[in-house]
């Protein structure tokens, strides 16, 4: 893999060593000093040399002058020393030959790396609570989580995606009572999760009037804990119904999990950890409950056992982390949840550290902001929520309408409408930094203009249709000049060159929006090129062939980037 920053950093590192008596400044640290100038008149990439003043004991201007002489040659066209800034211009020849060849030979793999080889990353994401609505608040954990998984895979890590289903807890006592009182098998078979949620909501309404229902629910949950066969059967069935439906949503997003080990899976794994805590004298009894005091770390205590001895959310997470470490020997274990759970993770991560597990620092919480729709916040208990599948359906049907209008004869209409509708929601969601709260405006998300999913998918389809036309006319057989003749061509190549670096940044910051925004940069440059340069009708065959190569390269980069953020590659829209 070549990356221009890396090549330049290595050259500079060598020039420093050559001119300063073997002084070592690692390429890795130089790499991070580069800046992209705000205007192309300051070069394609720039290095502020004052950063070396201390080490190299010269003025930035002198340093820049010495380095300038030391690093000339491929891939550099020319270098200017402007007040101690080395402004570097990349050569067109390099872009049109070495870089373009690299992209085309990389193809679906361009931008990927092997730095993660031999390392395992466990990702805990999506994890809806069974029998409760899978609502738009879960969009974040689902698509951010999957995107972070894809990004790591792209860097060669082995990834294990775990759907830590909320498949245990007192809500199942409530569900069992509600189902026996008001439900029936056929209705649930047909109505699926909606029906289960309806029963759950009805339980809460009725329980306000009749307090004995709560008691009944506690009893049924207790029976479930004691392995009562009837309750176990019902419980398994609720999960089955729910998972079947979640999988439809996951399929629309192109998501598959490696494991569905939910909360219930860890029930028998908790006692050993509770015992360890007790033996290490970390447990404090407070009003009958057992907790780990975290006052020294400026956090409220972490609750481990309730007064009645039952376990809690953190207890389960601790046991699950130990199990995952033993099973997968992870190098990172990533949890993606809303920032409302940040304290929970900070607390139990600290407990794991206090327990002496030396891998505590491999646990990473990735929080994200809240979602509202058209300014409205979401309420759960009342049942007044927007479900993810309804949001997707809405988006899909609106896209289908637009397509009927614009392109009525398209093949695979349904499939395309689904890819574009779902893609619109995902793209809109992943555009901003994950930690920022987001107000969802479907109208904006679905627009074919502006910075939207449909716009970038349309751009990708455009690259496909140009290449298809070339195959039909035989233009794909021409020999390329491999020579840049228009500024738009150079600009497109320069943005494509940045892809590997963007992938690294997205992984470093666990931030899919780096890729989403990069896709917009690529789409903008490709469309500029498409509108201002004739591709199939260029003046000579060599130029046609060269521009076809550029189109193909742009298609690869867009497609590879789409894969990283759960966006489908639509060949025709
Ligand atoms: N089921 C939880 C919820 O919907 C999220 C679980 C997150 N993962 C974890 N290991 N705690 O809020």
| pLDDT for res 2 | 64
Atom of ligand 1 nearest to the CA of 341: 12
Question: What value does the mean pLDDT take over residues 194-218?
Answer: 94
**CA–CA gap between residue 133 and residue 139 (Å, rounded):** 12
- The pLDDT, as a whole number, for residue 132 is 78
- What is the SS3 string spanning 226-239? CCCHHHHHHHHHHH
Looking at residue 373, its pLDDT comes to: 78
For residues 33 and 51, give the distance between their C-alpha atoms in angstroms, rounded to a whole number. Answer: 8
CB 82 within 8 A of CB 125: no
CA of 78 to the centre of ligand 1 (A): 54
Task: Work out which ligand 1 atom sits closest to the CA atom of 138.
Answer: 4
- pLDDT at 89 exceeding the cut of 90: yes
Q: Is residue 1 scored above 70 in pLDDT?
A: no
Average the pLDDT over 185-204 and give the result.
92
Separation CA 502–CA 512 (nearest Å): 10
Residue to probe by mutation, ligand 1, list 128, 135, 164, most atoms within 8 Å of CB: 164
- Does position 351 have pLDDT exceeding 60, yes or no? yes
DSSP 3-state assignment of 127? coil
Please choose, from the candidates 515, 402, 403, the residue with its C-alpha nearest in 3D space to the C-alpha of residue 456. Answer: 515
Residue 179 in contact with residue 199, Cβ under 8 Å? yes
Task: Report which ligand 1 atom has the smallest distance to the Cα of 320.
Answer: 10
Let me know: does 176 contact 231? Beta carbons within 8 Å: yes
Cβ density class 397-420: b for 16+ within 10 Å, e for less? ebbbebbeeeeeeeeebeebbbbb
Domains and CATH numbers, the chain: 2-90 (3.30.1360.70), 125-382 (3.40.50.620), 388-564 (1.10.730.10)
Which tokens in the block code for residue 103? 């992209």
- How does residue 381 score in pLDDT terms, banded at 50, 70 and 90? very low
Average pLDDT estimate for 381-397: 80
CA 385/CA 116 separation, integer angstroms: 40
- Please report where in the chains the tokens 């637009």 appear, as a residue: 402
Q: What is the DSSP letter of 108?
A: G
Which long-range contacts does 27-32 make (Cβ < 8 Å, 24+ apart)? 31/5, 31/6
Burial state string for 78-110 with b = 16 or more CB within 10 A and e = fewer than 16: ebebeebbbbbbbbbebbbeebbebbeebeeeb
Summarize the confidence of residues 560-564 as an average pLDDT: 98
Cβ atoms 381, 131 nearer than 8 A: no
Cβ partners under 8 Å of residue 393, min gap 6: none
pLDDT (0 to 100) of residue 37: 94
Closest C-alpha residue for ligand 1 atom 6: 127
**pLDDT computed for residue 131 by the predictor:** 79
Q: What's the pLDDT at 454?
A: 95
The answer to whether the peptide bond before residue 168 is cis (omega within 30 degrees of 0) is: no
Mean pLDDT computed over every residue of the chain: 94
Cα of 390 vs centre of ligand 1, distance in Å, is 22
The answer to whether 420 and 457 have CB atoms below 8 angstroms apart is yes
Give me the pLDDT at residue 135, please: 85
* Cα first-last separation, the chain: 33
**Residue with CA at minimum distance from ligand 1 atom 4:** 128
Q: How far is the CA of 341 from the centre of ligand 1 (A)?
A: 9
Cα separation of 460 and 462, whole Å?
A: 5
- Residue nearest atom 5 of ligand 1, based on CA coordinates: 127
The model's confidence at residue 26, banded by pLDDT at 50, 70 and 90, is very high
Taking alpha carbons only, the member of 431, 449, 423, 428 closest to residue 518 is 431
* Centroid of ligand 1 to alpha carbon of 556 (angstroms): 35
Examine the pLDDT at 92 and tell me if it is beyond 60. yes
The half-sphere exposure of 256 on its side-chain side, counting CA atoms within 13 A, is 1
370: which DSSP letter? -
Residue nearest to atom 11 of ligand 1 (CA): 317
Query: Of the residues 133, 142, 337, 347, which should be mutated to test ligand 1's pocket, given the most ligand atoms within 8 Å of the CB?
Result: 337
- Maximum Cα–Cα distance across the chain: 85
Rounded-to-integer distance, Cα 18 and Cα 67, Å: 10
Question: What are the helix (H) ranges across 131-225?
Answer: 138-154, 171-182, 185-209, 212-225
Helices 270-279 + 313-328 axis angle, to 10: 100
Per DSSP bridges, beta strands 371-373 and 438-440 are parallel
Cα separation, 132 vs 199, whole angstroms: 10
Predicted structure pTM score: 0.95
Q: What are phi and psi of 108, to 5 degrees?
A: -65, -10
Residue 176 Cα to ligand 1 midpoint, Å, equals 22
Q: Which residues line ligand 1 (CB under 6 A)?
A: 124, 127-129, 164, 166, 317, 335, 337
Tokens, residue 185: 């098998």
Ligand 1 centroid, distance to 283 Cα (angstroms):
24
Report the residue among 312, 341, 343 best suited for mutation to probe ligand 1: largest number of ligand atoms under 8 A from its CB.
341
* 47 pLDDT above the threshold of 90: yes
pLDDT band at 170 (very low <50, low <70, confident <90, very high): confident
Stretch 91-116: mean pLDDT: 97
Pick from 125, 127, 132 the residue to mutate for probing ligand 1's pocket: most ligand atoms within 8 Å of its CB.
127
Q: CA-CA distance, 519 to 147, in Å (whole number)?
A: 14
Centre of ligand 1 to C-alpha 269, Å, is: 18
- The pLDDT of residue 403: 87
Quote the CA–CA distance of 359 and 374 in Å, as a whole number: 42
What are the structure tokens assigned to 495, written together?
């943005």
**Rounded Cα–Cα distance for residues 69 and 14 (Å):** 12
| Ligand 1, pocket-test mutation among 132, 142, 166, most atoms within 8 A of CB | 166
> 164 C-alpha vs ligand 1 centroid, how far in Å?
7
Q: What is the pLDDT of residues 499-511, one digit of tens each?
A: 999 999 999 999 9
CA 417 – ligand 1 centroid, Å: 31
């Amino acid at each position: 893999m070549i990356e221009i920053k890396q090549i330049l950093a290595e050259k500079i590192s060598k020039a420093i060593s050559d001119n300063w008596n073997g002084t070592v400044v690692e390429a890795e640290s130089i790499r991070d000093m580069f800046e992209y100038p705000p205007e192309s008149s300051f070069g394609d990439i720039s290095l502020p040399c004052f950063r070396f003043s201390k080490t190299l004991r010269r003025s930035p201007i002198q340093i820049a002058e010495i380095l300038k002489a030391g690093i000339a040659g491929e891939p550099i066209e020319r270098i200017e020393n402007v007040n101690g800034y080395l402004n570097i211009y990349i050569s067109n020849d390099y872009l049109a030959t070495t870089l373009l060849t690299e992209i085309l030979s990389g193809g679906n793999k361009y931008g990927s790396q092997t730095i993660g080889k031999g390392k395992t990353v466990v990702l805990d994401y999506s994890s809806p609570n069974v029998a409760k609505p899978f609502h738009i608040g879960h969009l974040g954990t689902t698509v951010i989580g999957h995107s972070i998984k894809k990004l790591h895979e792209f860097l060669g890590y082995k990834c294990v995606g775990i759907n830590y289903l909320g498949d245990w807890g007192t809500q199942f006592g409530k569900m069992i009572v509600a189902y026996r009182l008001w439900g029936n098998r056929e209705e649930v078979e047909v109505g699926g999760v909606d029906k289960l949620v309806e029963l759950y909501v009805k339980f809460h309404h009725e329980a306000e009037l009749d307090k004995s229902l709560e008691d009944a629910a506690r009893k049924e949950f207790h029976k479930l804990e004691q392995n009562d066969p009837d309750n176990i059967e019902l419980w398994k069935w609720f999960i089955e119904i729910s998972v079947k439906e979640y999988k439809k949503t996951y399929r629309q997003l192109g998501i598959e999990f490696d494991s569905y080990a939910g909360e219930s899976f860890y029930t028998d794994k908790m006692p050993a950890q509770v015992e360890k805590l007790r033996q290490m004298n970390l447990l404090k009894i407070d009003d009958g409950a057992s907790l780990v005091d975290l006052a020294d770390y400026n956090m409220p205590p972490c609750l481990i056992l309730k007064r009645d001895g039952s376990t809690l959310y953190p207890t389960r997470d601790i046991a699950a982390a130990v199990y995952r470490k033993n099973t997968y020997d992870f190098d990172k274990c990533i949890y993606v949840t809303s920032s409302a759970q940040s304290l929970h993770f900070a607390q139990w991560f600290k407990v794991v550290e206090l327990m002496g597990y030396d891998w505590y620092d491999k646990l990473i919480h990735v929080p994200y902001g809240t979602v509202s729709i058209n300014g409205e916040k979401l309420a759960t208990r009342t049942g007044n929520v927007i479900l993810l599948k309804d949001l997707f359906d809405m988006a899909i049907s609106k896209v289908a309408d637009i397509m009927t209008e614009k392109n009525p004869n398209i093949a695979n209409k349904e499939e395309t409408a689904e890819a574009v509708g779902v893609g619109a929601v995902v793209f809109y969601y992943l555009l901003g930094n994950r930690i920022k709260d987001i107000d969802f405006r479907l109208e904006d998300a679905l627009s074919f203009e502006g910075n939207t999913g449909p716009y970038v998918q349309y751009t990708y389809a455009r690259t496909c249709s140009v290449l298809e036309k070339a195959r039909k006319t035989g233009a794909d057989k021409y020999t390329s000049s491999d020579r840049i003749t228009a500024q738009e061509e150079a600009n497109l190549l320069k943005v494509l060159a940045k892809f590997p670096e963007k992938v690294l940044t997205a992984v470093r910051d666990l931030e899919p929006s780096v890729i989403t925004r990069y896709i917009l940069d690529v789409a903008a440059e490709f469309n500029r090129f498409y509108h201002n340069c004739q591709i199939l009708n260029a003046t000579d065959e060599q130029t046609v062939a060269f521009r076809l190569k550029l189109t193909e390269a742009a298609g690869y980069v867009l497609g590879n980037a789409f894969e990283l953020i759960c966006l489908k590659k639509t060949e025709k829209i």
